[in-house]
């Protein structure tokens, strides 16, 4: 059994920087990692997203099925991402450390 990686609580922007620097989203799009829907539902009215948009939590999985990231995104009916237009990582396994937003 694999032991749990150490957890490190860091600000959201630090997780975002690691996520972007290591190109996790690009690696999902290229097929290196896979996506699995973790949860979804209607977004908060405060999000300002158009009707029909889904608020989703997505797990990114490595080839062994291990979760390496969990991201939030707004999926619009036309298939584009709302908000910033990019997934927002909430936790990230990077170099065997699990980074989480406190």
Q: What b/e readout covers 29-61, taking b as 16+ CB neighbours within 10 angstroms?
A: eeeebeeeeeeeeebeeeeebeeebbbbebbbb
Q: What percent of the chain is predicted at pLDDT more than 90?
A: 93
| pLDDT(25) > 80 | yes
Structure token digits, residue 67 = 């979760």
| pLDDT(71) > 90 | yes
| pLDDT(19) > 80 | yes
In the chain, what are the domain boundaries?
Answer: 7-42+53-100
Structure token digits, residue 97 = 């450390």
Overall pTM > 0.75:
yes
pLDDT confidence of residue 3: 79
The mean predicted confidence, pLDDT, of the chain is 95
| pLDDT(40) > 90 | yes
Rg (CA), the chain: 14
């Amino acid at each position: 059994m694999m032991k749990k990686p150490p957890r490190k609580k860091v600000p959201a922007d630090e997780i975002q920087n690691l996520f972007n620097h290591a190109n996790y989203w690009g690696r999902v799009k290229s097929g290196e990692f896979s996506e699995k829907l973790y949860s979804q539902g209607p977004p908060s009215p405060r999000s300002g997203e158009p009707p029909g948009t889904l608020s989703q939590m997505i797990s990114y999985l490595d080839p062994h099925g291990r979760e390496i990231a969990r991201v939030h995104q707004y999926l619009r009916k036309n298939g584009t991402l709302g908000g910033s237009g990019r997934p927002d990582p909430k936790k990230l396994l990077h170099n065997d450390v699990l980074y989480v937003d406190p």
